[in-house]
Chain A
Amino acid sequence: MSTLSAALPHLPILQVVVPLISAPICFLLQRAGLAWAFSTLVSWLAFATSVMLLRAVMADGTIHYEIGGWAAPWGIEYVIDAANAIVLVIVSGIGAAVSSYAPRSVLAEIPASQRGLYYTAYLLCLAGLLGVTITGDAFNVFVFLEITSLSSYVLVAAGAGLDRRALTAAYNYLVMGTVGATFFVIGVGLLYMVTGTLNIADLHERVPPLLDNRTVHVAFAFIVVGLGLKLALFPLHTWLPNAYTYAPSTGTAFLAATSTKVSVYVLLRFLFGVFAPTSGLMALTMDYVLLPLAVIGMMAATVAAIYQYNLKRLLAYSSVAQLGYMVLGFAYGSVDGLTAAVLHLFNHALMKGALFLALGCVMLRVGDVTMHGVRGLGRQMPWTMAAFVAGGLSLIGVPLTVGFISKWYLVGAALEDGRWWIAALILASSLLAVIYVWKVVEAAYLREPPAGRTVREAPLSMLVPTWILVLANIWFGVDAELTVSVARTAAMGLLGVAP
């Protein structure tokens, strides 16, 4: 007990260091079963840590943690406020759910020799994502971003056992991801050149007075484009559909629910926590570049999703569209818009997590996640398909699911701003989502299974984590008070508005 209380003040660093150190240990464990048990334990520990951090932040306000006792401008500082505390919970929560789900799926999809390594890569990815989120130092963001990216290239490539296209998907992801990260680091370097600091809080003080400085403009452009690549902002999303389609089911579920979300968070942090443009070139960029791209992405990707045959690819395009919603939310630049964006960040992670895990169950039993593969599964795998339908309804934004709460706030924020046409487009895109979700529903429930195929329901070890996420979808859709209040606190913190 005393060790626990001694550890409490150090939660911020433990949040990152525990998974980071666990990764090499996991590698040494070698045996897949052990590696799995260990990585799951670590994920749940990380989840517990992040929940404690969120509670602490909501109760007592922002936490500052100086690594190694080096004071902020020289040392690296971890800063946790409502905005990143919620992202930490998403990342570690999805991590815990996915890793609990993993063993059967990994057994089926990944060659024996690579399973231990797969869990190692997963832990590295988790550590990286948590690090990106928690750190208050701009260059540290880059380092963790690259830890995340390198390990996610590995996670994607691990799908090569099933389909060789996973390799080229990973390769393209690597090229695009590295270009994105390098752009980002150029931007950070330019900011350092102008301000002499890498601490995000200090940057927030020194950059806004310099908003007319040419170097700051260039830095802004590099950072936005670099992060745009990482978060798959349309039209920089081309790496995403293949990566999500060919990665192993567990990898896709984890990456889809977390990695782009973290990039969105970093973009949020830089836009509002560093540049905080209120007027001039950068504010115009929000209105005339980010907003239109978000809207076009939202519509184009939704339409693309309708024509997909492979369900993982379908959901991947839907992810691109949903990222459009998030960017849209913060492109308004208002508290309401930002609240909607943060809320959707959380909610979308729950939806996509549940949907991809359900597809993982289908992959395990049927080995085919296409429209053809899910035919007649409504009867053969009732729980799996029910989970998929629930996730799909959430994606559409049907009441009593988290998707509805997101839509409600997104549309509300658009109307509040008087942006009628955006509200109309958001709703149009949710209606198009009905089409692609319903194609799956019809195939699963209203068509007969292919002749001679008999499949059993997925094992409980996979169904339970899937359903935990589904129930979370419903729970936070019925009682959204917690998520809304956290999102609002986060939005106000990012915009520097007093509550």
Chain B
Amino acid sequence: MNPSFLLAATLLLPLIGTLFIALTGSRANLREAVTLVTAGLLAVIVYSLLQDVLAGARPAATLVEVVPGLPLALEIEPLGMLFACIASGLWIVNSLYSIGYMRGNHEHKQTRFYMCFAIAIASAMGIAFAGNMFTLFIFYEVLTLSTYPLVAHKETAEARQGARIYLGLLIGTSIGFQMVAIIWTWLAAGTLDFAAGGILRGKVDPAVLPFLLALYMFGIGKAALMPFHRWLPSAMVAPTPVSALLHAVAVVKAGVFTVLKVVVYVFGVDLLAETGASQWLIGVASFTLIAASLVAMTKDNLKARLAYSTISQLSYIVLGAALATSYGVLGGALHIATHALGKITLFMCAGAIYVATHKTEISEMDGLGRRMPFTYGAFLVGALSIIGLPPLAGVWSKWYLAMGAVETGLWAVVAVYMISSLLNVAYLIPVVARGFFKPSAEPVPQSVGAAAAPAAGGLQEAPLLCVLPPCLTAAGCVVLFFYADAVVALLRPLVQ
């Protein structure tokens, strides 16, 4: 089929899915089937587009010209392709998981949940394939708004408060900083189209480049650079599938993806390297990286710990971009993929533990590993991948990032990466260790609410649909280790 049509279809399909989810809202099975079919079809379309892109094609489509010179335009390039593959692929896995989790927990207003989810995916596709900064910004905002109901899902005072911080910080930074940066870019460069090598060369005084970059970097609140990171822990009040797909993959990755886009296609890596405009960012990102890891160690709530871990991992990518070298950018892009797989595994495991036992605090999870071996096994694989041990995918992105740091001769940055990996060990491994080796604090309960699956042979796993998906993504971490060169091959044009 016509690639331009397919490209538009990646946006339209989830929206059509949303409509059907709304229409079938009263019949749960049918509604979930719609979600799964939509997710499956989307993955097929993205996959067929991937073939085109690998063959060197760059499909493009213009949807509508909003004002003269500012069209809503889509265009595929390798980085966006990677992000789209991750988001659409994991949406299938996550949809399976959502079904298990939402039913297992008897959550309310599930139709709204699935609808908002589909809209969020549509906007993630829009971000991935945006052909200019204007389009990207629009979908960035749509993503924020469509995920708000998901964060506020529980409708308790706590959820309202968390959602308020979520919305306030994300909308605040994007309107307060990012929009200014975009308008500034538009006035200076006369265009917002992404172009290889950037569009700002010779258009903006090098002395103010760092300031413009700062407007972008802090304006992209979804990248969770300190001090604008508070929204991510706040978003953890959402049901776990939301935390898993959106706040470990789609939303936060949309943030760092935008960072990479801005660095590569708006500023241009060479321009940043020549002017040193991103030097300050190295410091800020390193600080966020270490500080967030340290905070993560103090958190007893599993999801909160994972959230701070995400903040820290996002800064790996921002740091990679700030280095302004080809290895740094490549490593950052690769880390989007590897961290996505690892972190979604961890979140889904956390959710599975919650469904099975209704426990959220790490200190209460002693000995659980022996009862939930699959969940804990998947957790271990995900954790090791994030730490960056072979044979797991995480090792490659850290490798490239460290190479980037070496390339610039900034040994301190190499040290930051290494220290942070050690900190990863310190806050992730104890979770698993307590699960497997500490004696259980309480006797095995006979029945832990209606959510618990029937215990068989001492096992007390969550429902199948909650356990299978993390195992799948954990397997993905292993597979990606062996096929990382394929991803690198896809990304190569980015730095040429």
Mask of A472-484 contacts with B, CB within 8 angstroms, 1/0: 0000011111001
Q: Do A399 and B183 touch across chains, with their CB atoms under 8 A apart?
A: no
Majority DSSP secondary structure for residues of B touching A = helix
Taking CB atoms, residues of chain A closer than 8 Å to B64 are 478-479
Question: Which residue in A434, A447, A481, A485 is a CB contact (below 8 Å) of B167?
Answer: A434
Q: Do B179 and A479 touch across chains, with their CB atoms under 8 A apart?
A: no
Mask of A200-241 contacts with B, CB within 8 angstroms, 1/0: 000000000000000000000000000000000000000000
Q: Do B164 and A415 touch across chains, with their CB atoms under 8 A apart?
A: no
Mask of B152-196 contacts with A, CB within 8 angstroms, 1/0: 100100011000100110011001100110011011000000000
B445 interfacial contact with A, CB 8 Å: no
A428 vs chain B, min Cβ distance (A): 7
A303 vs chain B, min Cβ distance (A): 16
Taking CB atoms, residues of chain B closer than 8 Å to A415 are 180, 183-184, 187
Question: Which residue in A412, A428, A484 is a CB contact (below 8 Å) of B176?
Answer: A428
A463 interfacial contact with B, CB 8 Å: no
Q: Which of B34-42, B137-145, B321-329, B353-361 contacts A (4 or more CB under 8 A)?
A: B137-145
Q: Do B145 and A393 touch across chains, with their CB atoms under 8 A apart?
A: yes
Taking CB atoms, residues of chain A closer than 8 Å to B171 are 396, 431, 434
Residue of chain B at shortest CB distance from A441: B148
A274 interfacial contact with B, CB 8 Å: no
Q: Do A416 and B172 touch across chains, with their CB atoms under 8 A apart?
A: no
Given A434-B168, A438-B164, also A481-B183 (CB < 8 A): no
Given A393-B145, A446-B155, also A407-B179 (CB < 8 A): yes
CA distance A408 to B181 in the complex (A): 12
Residue of chain A at shortest CB distance from B188: A415
Q: Do A478 and B72 touch across chains, with their CB atoms under 8 A apart?
A: yes
Taking CB atoms, residues of chain B closer than 8 Å to A481 are 65-68
Interface residues of A in 462-499 (CB under 8 A from B): 477-481, 484-485
CA distance A447 to B408 in the complex (A): 54
Q: Do B187 and A399 touch across chains, with their CB atoms under 8 A apart?
A: no
Count of chain B residues with Cβ under 8 Å from any Cβ of A?
29
A29 interfacial contact with B, CB 8 Å: no
CA distance A398 to B140 in the complex (A): 11
Taking CB atoms, residues of chain B closer than 8 Å to A446 are 152, 155, 159-160
Taking CB atoms, residues of chain A closer than 8 Å to B137 are 399
A66 vs chain B, min Cβ distance (A): 36
A123 interfacial contact with B, CB 8 Å: no
A68 vs chain B, min Cβ distance (A): 42
Taking CB atoms, residues of chain B closer than 8 Å to A408 are 67, 179, 183
Q: Do A484 and B72 touch across chains, with their CB atoms under 8 A apart?
A: no
Question: Which residue in A399, A438, A480 is a CB contact (below 8 Å) of B67?
Answer: A480
CA distance A446 to B179 in the complex (A): 29
CA distance A407 to B183 in the complex (A): 10
Taking CB atoms, residues of chain B closer than 8 Å to A405 are 66-67
Mask of B24-68 contacts with A, CB within 8 angstroms, 1/0: 000000000000000000000000000000000000000011111
Given A412-B187, A427-B179, A446-B160, also A480-B66 (CB < 8 A): yes
B44 vs chain A, min Cβ distance (A): 28
Taking CB atoms, residues of chain B closer than 8 Å to A399 are 137-138, 141-142
Taking CB atoms, residues of chain A closer than 8 Å to B168 are 434
Residue of chain A at shortest CB distance from B149: A445
Taking CB atoms, residues of chain B closer than 8 Å to A478 are 64, 66, 72
CA distance A393 to B142 in the complex (A): 11
Q: Do A431 and B164 touch across chains, with their CB atoms under 8 A apart?
A: no
Taking CB atoms, residues of chain B closer than 8 Å to A477 are 66
B343 vs chain A, min Cβ distance (A): 28
Residue among B141, B175, B179 with the highest chain A CB neighbour number at 10 A: B175
Taking CB atoms, residues of chain B closer than 8 Å to A423 are 180, 183
Q: Do B176 and A427 touch across chains, with their CB atoms under 8 A apart?
A: yes
Q: Chain A: interface residue count, which band?
A: 20 to 34
A348 vs chain B, min Cβ distance (A): 17
Taking CB atoms, residues of chain B closer than 8 Å to A485 are 68
A92 interfacial contact with B, CB 8 Å: no
Interface residues of B in 124-147 (CB under 8 A from A): 137-138, 141-142, 145
Q: Do B183 and A411 touch across chains, with their CB atoms under 8 A apart?
A: yes
B398 vs chain A, min Cβ distance (A): 36
CA distance A399 to B133 in the complex (A): 13
B181 vs chain A, min Cβ distance (A): 11
Given A431-B175, A434-B171, A484-B67, also A400-B160 (CB < 8 A): no
Taking CB atoms, residues of chain B closer than 8 Å to A447 are 155
Residue of chain B at shortest CB distance from A434: B171
Taking CB atoms, residues of chain A closer than 8 Å to B164 are 438, 442
Residue of chain B at shortest CB distance from A389: B145
Mask of A405-436 contacts with B, CB within 8 angstroms, 1/0: 10110011001100000011001101100100
Residue of chain A at shortest CB distance from B145: A398
Residue of chain A at shortest CB distance from B176: A427
A194 vs chain B, min Cβ distance (A): 41
A95 interfacial contact with B, CB 8 Å: no
CA distance A144 to B141 in the complex (A): 44
A449 interfacial contact with B, CB 8 Å: no
A397 interfacial contact with B, CB 8 Å: yes
CA distance A427 to B175 in the complex (A): 7
Interface residues of B in 115-131 (CB under 8 A from A): none
Q: Do B68 and A412 touch across chains, with their CB atoms under 8 A apart?
A: no
A317 vs chain B, min Cβ distance (A): 20
Taking CB atoms, residues of chain B closer than 8 Å to A407 are 175, 179
CA distance A368 to B278 in the complex (A): 54
A140 vs chain B, min Cβ distance (A): 35
CA distance A484 to B67 in the complex (A): 7
CA distance A407 to B171 in the complex (A): 14
Taking CB atoms, residues of chain A closer than 8 Å to B65 are 479, 481
Residue of chain B at shortest CB distance from A410: B183
Q: Do A411 and B180 touch across chains, with their CB atoms under 8 A apart?
A: yes
Q: Do B180 and A427 touch across chains, with their CB atoms under 8 A apart?
A: yes
A394 vs chain B, min Cβ distance (A): 12
Taking CB atoms, residues of chain B closer than 8 Å to A430 are 175
Q: List 26 A-B contacts (CB under 8 A).
A: A396-B171, A399-B137, A399-B138, A400-B138, A400-B142, A405-B67, A407-B179, A408-B67, A411-B180, A427-B175, A427-B176, A428-B176, A430-B175, A438-B167, A442-B160, A442-B164, A445-B152, A446-B155, A446-B160, A478-B66, A478-B72, A479-B66, A480-B66, A481-B67, A484-B68, A485-B68
A412-B183, A438-B164 known; 20 other A-B pairs, CB under 8 Å?
Answer: A398-B145, A408-B179, A412-B186, A415-B180, A415-B184, A424-B180, A427-B176, A427-B179, A430-B175, A431-B171, A431-B172, A434-B171, A445-B149, A445-B152, A446-B159, A479-B64, A479-B66, A480-B66, A481-B66, A484-B67
Chain B contacts to A: CB under 8 angstroms:
64-68, 72, 137-138, 141-142, 145, 149, 152, 155, 159-160, 164, 167-168, 171-172, 175-176, 179-180, 183-184, 186-187
Chain A contacts to B: CB under 8 angstroms:
393, 396-400, 405, 407-408, 411-412, 415-416, 423-424, 427-428, 430-431, 434, 438, 442, 445-447, 477-481, 484-485
Sorted from nearest, which 5 A-B pairs have the closest CB atoms? A399-B138, A480-B67, A484-B67, A399-B141, A446-B155
